[in-house]
Amino acid sequence: MNSAARFPLFSPADETNAALSDAAQDQLLDRAADEERGEQPIGGSIDILRQEGLMLQDGATDPQTTCKALMQIGAANLGVGRLWEGHVNALRLIRLYGSASQQKAADNLVASDALFGVWGADGSTPVSLGSETGTLQGEKLFASGLGTVTHALVTADAGPEAQLILIDVRDMERADTSQWDMLGMRATASGKYDFSGLTVGEGDLIGAPGDYLREPDFVGGVWRIAALQAGASAGLLGAAAKQLRNMERLEAEAQKARLMQVLMRVWAGMALVERAATAAQSDAFSPDTLVANAIAARLYTEEVGLDAINAVEQSLGLRHFTQNSETGRMARDLSVYLRQAARDAFLQRAATHALSQDDRLWGVFK
């Protein structure tokens, strides 16, 4: 089945502009339920992305391809999208702040089937280093991809001067997936990872203290999250429409109107995300404008995602909430993924920049 037909990802004028093959997208979707139940490892889906040649994408070299891929992966399997976005983010940070030898080493790791992640949330004992080389102490929470991510970019010594360190995290004796008790995104095998006692050298440090929070590449990179959110919303609507067609209930005007109203906003969100992704690589915009663009895309697609969940619940009724419901699984994953921290602060930050431009509010679109 053509993936554009399965998922209403793109408007008719744009449906051929895809980064992921139809077969790969179908495979990701077919694996999703088993991955949530733990019956198939999510690493098998990462292998599909390897076969598609996506593992060297960093969101900057070819932002359009990265953006489209995030949307398509998010539509089919949001858990896989979450892990791949972390890999893309890590690769981008290494290429931004790593030395030439570190960048080459990272590319070699990817060629050897490494999967990167970015783990920033500290546990009760924050990860600390204390000197340029030495022994780590502390733990990370919400570490996505335990058992699948092979190397994580970890922040040490929390705060504005946090240091990025690239660490091999394949030692599962340090991992605790029981900490992840969320109703959604269960396939990501997220949880706690204890770094205490690990020794790191100068060559493991990526960039200088404070680089991780440097703009416009920190908050300015949330367009990648927005791309996943938009894609997941489209995938959810597509799955709902398919189920309604199978039940011969899609011809009702109320059903079509309810889903189409949200789908039009999904398309608008995708356009906003694509523009934020492309603008991020342009010298024509100030860092504040790039950050405001990315925040706008992130918050708008969050709102659309919530509306998509609500519309699907109304359209399918109790069928949506059955244990093996495909739309139910998709909605659970999307609900958890939408809920990122600091939403209000993001909105205020974007508003402070955009609304301070006097009569030049349209300047962001120049």
Q: How many Å apart are CA 85 and CA 300, to the nearest integer?
A: 19
The pLDDT score that the predictor gives to residue 295 is 92
Q: pLDDT tens digits for 142-154?
A: 999 999 999 999 9
Per residue in 114-153, pLDDT tens?
A: 999 999 999 899 999 877 668 999 999 999 999 999 999 9
Q: Give the residue from 152, 155, 140 showing the smallest Cα distance to 210.
A: 155
**pTM here?**
0.92
The DSSP call for residue 39 is: S
Query: Tell me, what's the pLDDT at 5?
Result: 40
Tens digit of each residue's pLDDT (9 = 90 or more) over 332-360: 999 999 987 677 777 777 777 777 765 55
Would strands 151-156 and 139-143 be described as parallel, antiparallel, or unpaired? Answer: unpaired
Strand 151-156 versus strand 116-119 pairing type: parallel
**CA distance linking residue 27 with residue 34, whole number of Å:** 12
Give the pLDDT score at 132: 63
What distance in Å separates the CA atoms of residue 249 and residue 256, rounded to the nearest whole number? Answer: 10
